[in-house]
Amino acid sequence: MRAALGIGMTGETVDPHPVLVADVRIPALDRDNWHMFPPAADGGGFLAICPLSGTPDFQLTAQFTDGTDPDTSLEGVRKVVAARTHLTADEVTEVRWASDFRPRAALADRFREGRVFLAGDAAHVHSPAGGQGLNTSVQDAYNLGWKLGAVLRGGAPAALLDTYEAERLPNAARMLGLSTRIHRGEERRGAATRQLGLGYRDSSLSVETRTGLADEALRAGDRAPDGPCGTGRLFDAFRGPHFTLLAVGTDAELPALDEELVHVHRVGDYAPYGNGLFLVRPDGYVGWAGEDANGLTDYFRLIHKGS
Ligand SMILES: Cc1cc2nc3c(=O)[nH]c(=O)nc-3n(C[C@H](O)[C@H](O)[C@H](O)COP(=O)(O)OP(=O)(O)OC[C@H]3O[C@@H](n4cnc5c(N)ncnc54)[C@H](O)[C@@H]3O)c2cc1C
């Protein structure tokens, strides 16, 4: 589909060595651990067997550094398991699914062609080493989903859809670099791989009206943190396709708002936010922030039919 649209994919080989990935049954192996077998001195590459929760299967990954290609048949999988682990070939009783790949990092040159949008692995591929693929893909879909809804159902300007690529492509590019560095052992999993610090401060959809904020202050474009909200939690209040206007530690007057579009909550002083008004987007990022509601109505013209 991407090729048919004429959208290029630019990237590099992360590792020339192929990797076998297979869902296997090994009843003799305990399911309490992720079993890791480091590369042997005489070659062969790493092998890992991870229990897949909620199933009787394990996921096996095995790197081939000796110039051979992975054999995805039952016999091929049995052979590599017997050669690199304490298990015997017969203890692999079944291969449910198997494939092979060469880790590569590549990014689509653009995420949109007319009415077609690229999201997830169609837009970016990378080494699985950092465990970033699913989160990044789901965030793509969440970012795009509410914008499509706003334009198609809410009558928002079509330009809102252009912010999808503007916000997600730079994040994907950074994630590719991170995954490659982790694959090559130049960086370890940590705060960056948890993706909680990602945001869109530079986006045209992030409007910060306060000035003189401390460096560490939460501001428009940041991920809105969780916290108490009445008898529940903010994350519960955010959940859904609506915007959430949070009035934190302020009695600031609010304009009349479409109740279906915006849910309003007033909460007491809460340090992670600081005091003010925070408009949280359906995907959980602060879109607009202010000391009072000045400018809030203008912001809605970007994301709704306005008036
Ligand atoms: C070995 C390995 C380990 C990984 N580990 C992690 C991890 O720990 N954490 C993490 O976050 N990510 C991990 N990932 C990455 C993650 O699996 C992917 O990034 C994620 O699944 C991408 O989601 P997607 O919806 O974009 O694509 P996919 O999950 O590939 O979904 C695309 C779907 O489209 C279907 N499809 C394709 N063509 C057509 C067609 N023409 N018509 C109809 N349907 C079609 C496919 O069958 C598939 O179901 C790993 C990947 C691998 C290979």
What's the whole-number mean pLDDT along residues 50-75?
A: 96
pLDDT above 60 (res 29): yes
Domain membership of residue 181 (yes or no) is yes
Q: Is there a single domain that holds both residue 53 and residue 81?
A: yes
Nearest atom (ligand 1) to Cα of 134: 11
Of 52, 69, 101, which closes a domain? Answer: 101
Of 42, 69, 101, which closes a domain? Answer: 101
- CA dihedral (93, 77, 180, 143) in degrees, to 10, reads -40
pLDDT above 80 (res 262): yes
Cβ(249) – ligand 1 distance below 6 Å:
no
- The CA 52 to ligand 1 mean position distance, Å, reads 16
Q: What pLDDT is recorded for position 307?
A: 46
pLDDT above 80 (res 232): yes
Strand 94-101 and strand 58-63: the pairing is: unpaired
Please give the model's pTM, rounded to 2 decimal places. 0.90
Q: How confident is the model at residue 126 (pLDDT cuts 50, 70, 90)?
A: very high
Distances (CA, A) of 220 to 49, 213, 276: 43, 11, 12
What's the whole-number mean pLDDT along residues 185-190?
A: 93
Q: How many domains does the chain have?
A: 3
- CA dihedral (242, 244, 245, 248) in degrees, to 10, reads 170
Domain membership of residue 200 (yes or no) is no
Q: What pLDDT is recorded for position 1?
A: 85
| Domain at 128, CATH number | 3.50.50.60
| Domain at 244, CATH number | 3.40.30.120
Q: Hey, whose CA ends up nearest to atom 14 of ligand 1?
A: 133
| Domain at 86, CATH number | 3.30.70.2450
- Among 27-36, 43-52, 276-285, where is mean pLDDT lowest? 43-52
Q: What pLDDT is recorded for position 42?
A: 66
pLDDT above 80 (res 16): yes
pLDDT above 70 (res 69): yes
Q: What pLDDT is recorded for position 244?
A: 98
- The CA 134 to ligand 1 mean position distance, Å, reads 8
pLDDT above 90 (res 40): no
**C-alpha dihedral sign at 63, 65, 66, 71:** positive
Domain membership of residue 77 (yes or no) is yes
Q: What pLDDT is recorded for position 43?
A: 67
Q: What pLDDT is recorded for position 306?
A: 59
pLDDT tens profile 240-251: 999 999 999 999
What's the whole-number mean pLDDT along residues 201-211?
A: 97
Of 144, 166, 194, which closes a domain? Answer: 194
What's the whole-number mean pLDDT along residues 299-303?
A: 94
Domain membership of residue 199 (yes or no) is no
pLDDT above 90 (res 305): no
What's the whole-number mean pLDDT along residues 103-114?
A: 96
Provide the domain limits for residue 213: 207-303
Output the average pLDDT for the chain. 95
The answer to whether 222 and 201 are in contact (CB under 8 A) is: yes
- The CA 120 to ligand 1 mean position distance, Å, reads 8
Cβ(131) – ligand 1 distance below 6 Å:
yes
Alpha carbons 192 and 210: distance in angstroms, whole number:
28
Q: How confident is the model at residue 41 (pLDDT cuts 50, 70, 90)?
A: confident
**Residue 130: both structure tokens together:** 């950092």
- Ligand 1 probe mutation, 46, 137, 175, most atoms within 8 A of CB: 137
Q: Is there a single domain that holds both residue 62 and residue 132?
A: no
Rounded to whole angstroms, the maximal C-alpha distance in the chain is 72
Closest to 100 measured CA to CA, from 31, 43, 179, 45: 45
